[in-house]
Amino acid sequence: MSIKVIIIDGHADFRSLLMHHVTTHWPDAIVSAYDPLSAGHLPDEFSGAGNDVVLLGDVQGDRDPLLTLRQFAKTPAFPPIVYFGNDNKLQALAAGASAYFRRDNIRHNAFIVRVSDILRSHQRVSSTDSLFVGDMATGIHPLIRGYRFIKRLAVSEHSALYLAQKDSEDHQVVLKVLRQVPDFSDGLGAFDRFLQEYEMIAELDHPNIVDIYDLGVSDDHAHIAMEYVPGGDLKERIKKGVSEAEAIDYTRQIAGALTQLHSLGILHRDLKPGNIMVRDNGSLALIDFGLAKRMRLEQEITGNGEIFGTPYYMSPEQGHADDVDERSDVYSLGIIFYEMLTGKKPFVGADAMSIIFKHTKSPVPVLPYHLSSHQALINLLLAKRPEDRLQSAQEVLEWL
């Protein structure tokens, strides 16, 4: 049975945004919209009958939207109300809202989880209907056919990672799912970057780059099915301690993967231990090319002067939003090599900008005496100016 939703707000674009959030997850939902600015305020006798949930925005013209909320909430048998406002969460919840979201910062996954919980509490959806409900959601999602979901691995504003199994096969895969949700700022850009990511890594064939099995694209979402590496990531491995020999071997493997990437004109731009998986046989697999960029592409997707990446592993030029090339990835590899050898990050600070400043101004760190044989390589990897570094991942391989 289709769910029924009414959206009440005076801003047309906002009504469209909420409608898109709803229908991309529940394609069969029956959604109606009401504009109190053009049609006038709903009368006191409005009961919300026939709707499963009411999405109430705070653009209500000359009337205090909290008064409208209180009017609805005190009406007997009125449907649950999700309220969208700005910095008045406590007042909205006290006035009777079942949930609250800032209208300028609606995260799709969080929205779907909350609305699903509300609908479920009113017995309008089953426990397996929502892709984003719980860490152990199972079943086949109506928008992504052919996979049995095992558990959620991670979730972010634009995408989610799930452990799944393809119906026709017996091995597990990781599904990275992104929804096309316009949010007035980055919805289209994020979706385009996601597709760009697949197009790039689909060309790759290297033992130290994660295997890609499948791509699915529709008008409102896309998904990538990729290799599942159950052994954890290099970040966790470093916490347990990496031997000197392992650090050299891992650096060699990462440099080999970067050589393949760079040969195709691809920069990773977010190289860090959390994006490097460790297989059971000790081999590494680079993952998460969400920030990767073809060097020959124009800047329109990411935007000029916009900083992407993780400050701890970011080259000085990337931290200052200057042009980057493969030598930026070489710098990030140097940071990882140092961390594997010492168990510590070379540059830390109270916030992102202080870390970026240290990448630019602080001297290259000195290794402990027993590791001093690697100091020359560290110097060449972490040189402040790109022209003073090893010029490619291939040169790193040759040095090693």
Catalytic residue among 52, 183, 233, 270: 270
Distance, in Å, from the CA atom of 269 to the CA atom of 267, rounded to the nearest integer, reads: 6
Q: φ, ψ for residue 38 (rounded to 5)?
A: -95, -30
Q: φ, ψ for residue 138 (rounded to 5)?
A: -125, 175
Per-domain residue ranges of the chain: 4-121, 147-227, 234-399
Q: How confident is the model at residue 289 (pLDDT cuts 50, 70, 90)?
A: low
Distance, in Å, from the CA atom of 116 to the CA atom of 378, rounded to the nearest integer, reads: 51
Local structure of 25: helix, strand or coil = helix
Q: Confirm if 84 and 58 have CB atoms less than 8 A apart.
A: yes
H-only helix segments in the chain: 12-25, 36-39, 65-73, 89-95, 108-121, 187-201, 234-240, 244-263, 316-319, 326-342, 352-361, 375-381, 393-399
| CATH architecture label of 4-121 | 3-Layer(aba) Sandwich (3.40)
Q: Confirm if 374 and 366 have CB atoms less than 8 A apart.
A: no
pLDDT at 69 > cutoff 70:
yes
pLDDT at 149 > cutoff 70:
yes
Query: How far, in Å, are 122, 129, 309, 342, 358 from residue 336 at the CA level?
Result: 50, 41, 14, 10, 16
pTM: 0.60
Strands (E), 263-322: 266-267, 276-278, 284-286, 293-294
Pick the CATH number of 234-399 from 3.10.450.40, 3.40.47.10, 1.10.510.10, 1.10.3720.10: 1.10.510.10
Instruction: Write the class of the CATH domain 147-227.
Output: alpha beta
Lowest mean pLDDT across 27-41, 82-96, 127-141, 178-192? 127-141
Distance, in Å, from the CA atom of 199 to the CA atom of 384, rounded to the nearest integer, reads: 32
Q: CA geometry: angle at 125 spanning 123 and 129, to 5°?
A: 155
Q: pLDDT tens digits, residue range 315-374?
A: 888 887 778 889 999 999 999 999 999 999 999 888 888 888 899 999 999 999 999 999
Lowest mean pLDDT across 8-22, 159-173, 344-358, 366-380? 159-173
pLDDT of residue 142: 46
pLDDT of residue 377: 96
Q: How confident is the model at residue 74 (pLDDT cuts 50, 70, 90)?
A: very high
Cα atoms in the 13 Å half-sphere on the side-chain side of 12? 2
Q: Confirm if 55 and 25 have CB atoms less than 8 A apart.
A: no
Higher pLDDT, 176 or 389: 389
**Tokens matching residue 335:** 């940071």
Lowest mean pLDDT across 20-24, 196-200, 266-270? 196-200
For the question of residue 270 being annotated catalytic, the response is: yes
What value does the mean pLDDT take over residues 102-127? 76
Under DSSP, the state recorded for 233 is B
pLDDT at 132 > cutoff 50:
no
Neighbours of 133 (CB within 10 A): 18
Q: How confident is the model at residue 382 (pLDDT cuts 50, 70, 90)?
A: very high
Strands 4-8 and 53-57, how do they pair? parallel
**Tokens matching residue 385:** 């100016």
Cα atoms in the 13 Å half-sphere on the side-chain side of 14? 22
Distance, in Å, from the CA atom of 166 to the CA atom of 366, rounded to the nearest integer, reads: 49
Q: pLDDT tens digits, residue range 174-233?
A: 888 775 544 434 444 555 666 665 666 666 778 998 888 877 766 556 778 888 888 889
Local structure of 261: helix, strand or coil = helix
